[in-house]
Amino acid sequence: MFNLSLPRQEIRIATAFTKKRINYPPKSYLNSQMKKIPVKQIAPAHSEQSAAGRFSIRSLEQVMGAGDMMHELHRHNFYFILAVEKGSGMHEIDFVKFKVQDHSLFILRPGQVHRLELKAGSKGYLLEFDPAFYQPKDRISDQRWKKATGKNYCEVEAARFRKLYLILAMVFGEFTAREEGYAEAIRANFDLFFIEWIRQSKEPGRTSGSENNYTQDRYEELMRLLETNIGTKKNVPDYTGLLNLSAYQLNAITKTTVGKTVSELINEQIVLEAKRYLLATSSQVKEIADQLGYEDPSYFVRFFKKQTGFSPEAFRKNFK
């Protein structure tokens, strides 16, 4: 319930029979009451901070000690890589659950919401770094990096996993020793790691060539724009303008890549962000609607129910 002593905006509503005065808290107050999804930072004690960004790598043995690891829903403002050589548990990323098992690899982008459970005795590496630390310098490496970070989970054969794991072991050694040029050596190993990751992530039957690369690049650019702008931009023209493409061209790209229209992808991103707030915070539905750019909470409720089959409150009750 709102504190009635706070300043209020007054809105007069006229009907055929009477006039009523309804007092609403100002939008600035609603925003101040919005429960934010917990955001984790890279712990200074475990990382190296420089003008070139922050980076950390730890073994799971260091992180977990002798007990289980349980991280409740939260989001990061950095990239997160988890490589499990041996272990078990559950990793939920944007409400998609993955089984953690031997030879599991995960990559999370800044802003994604996840929950992680690992059983005692798990072995592997956990890497955290901000966008300033690793930025590919050429177009091909940048394309590879974007493709790699577009896939949260990679199933890897044992022999292939050892190759990837060896690269991370080199990174761990460089970070531990911190000899001359170690940061550059870590970035060079990252280049090798993501080359190998992409080799693991290729989809059967996928074609190659410049036309396919262009289509994939524009699709990935659209998805990044959706992640960062969905609170203020919900219409197809918003994104065709940002990408300098016609609606026909952008729809052709999304249909070729994932078999969906731009409107469908926009709706999916709105629902995803709403789910993040519903399950990771205790914010009221009207506060979440406001955060997502809906002036009318009832419209947001109808939209969410149409897309998911649940009202926001029912979704929170059933899945939290």
Question: Looking at residues 15-31, what average pLDDT do you find?
Answer: 40
Indicate whether 157 and 46 sit together in one domain: yes
- Check whether residue 60 and residue 151 sit in a common domain: yes
Residue with more model confidence, 81 or 18: 81
What is the reported pLDDT for 210?
A: 53
Residue 169 in this model has a pLDDT that exceeds 70: yes
The reply to whether 163 and 215 lie within a common domain is no
Residue 124 domain-assigned (yes or no): yes
Do 19 and 81 share a structural domain? Answer: no
The verdict on 49 and 88 lying in the same domain is yes
Number of domains, the chain = 3
Same structural domain, 292 and 315: yes
Q: Are 89 and 121 within one domain? A: yes
Q: What is the CATH number of the domain that holds 249?
A: 1.10.10.60
Q: What is the mean pLDDT of residues 61-65?
A: 91
Same domain, yes or no: 28 and 43: no
Domain end point (choices 201, 222, 257): 201
Question: Which residue, 201, 219, 248, sits at the end of a domain?
Answer: 201
pLDDT of 48 reads: 65
pLDDT in tens, 185-236: 999 999 999 998 888 765 533 444 555 678 888 898 999 899 999 999 999 9
Q: Is residue 206 part of a domain?
A: no
Same domain, yes or no: 113 and 243: no
Quick check: 26 pLDDT over 60?
no
**Structural domain boundaries enclosing 16:** 1-33
Q: Higher confidence at residue 34 or residue 170?
A: 170
DSSP string, the chain: ---TTS--EEEEEE-SS-EEEEEE--HHHHHHHPPPPPEEPPPGGGSEEETTEEEEEEEHHHHHTTS-EEEEEEEESSEEEEEEEE--EEEEETTEEEEE-TTEEEEE-TT-EEEEEE-TT-EEEEEEE-TTT---SSHHHHHHHHHHHT-SEEE--HHHHHHHHHHHHHHHHHHHH--TTHHHHHHHHHHHHHHHHHHHHPPTT---SHHHHHHHHHHHHHHHHHHHHTTT--SHHHHHHHHT--HHHHHHHHHHHHS--HHHHHHHHHHHHHHHHHHH----HHHHHHHTT-S-HHHHHHHHHHHHSS-HHHHHHHH-
- Any domain includes 166: yes
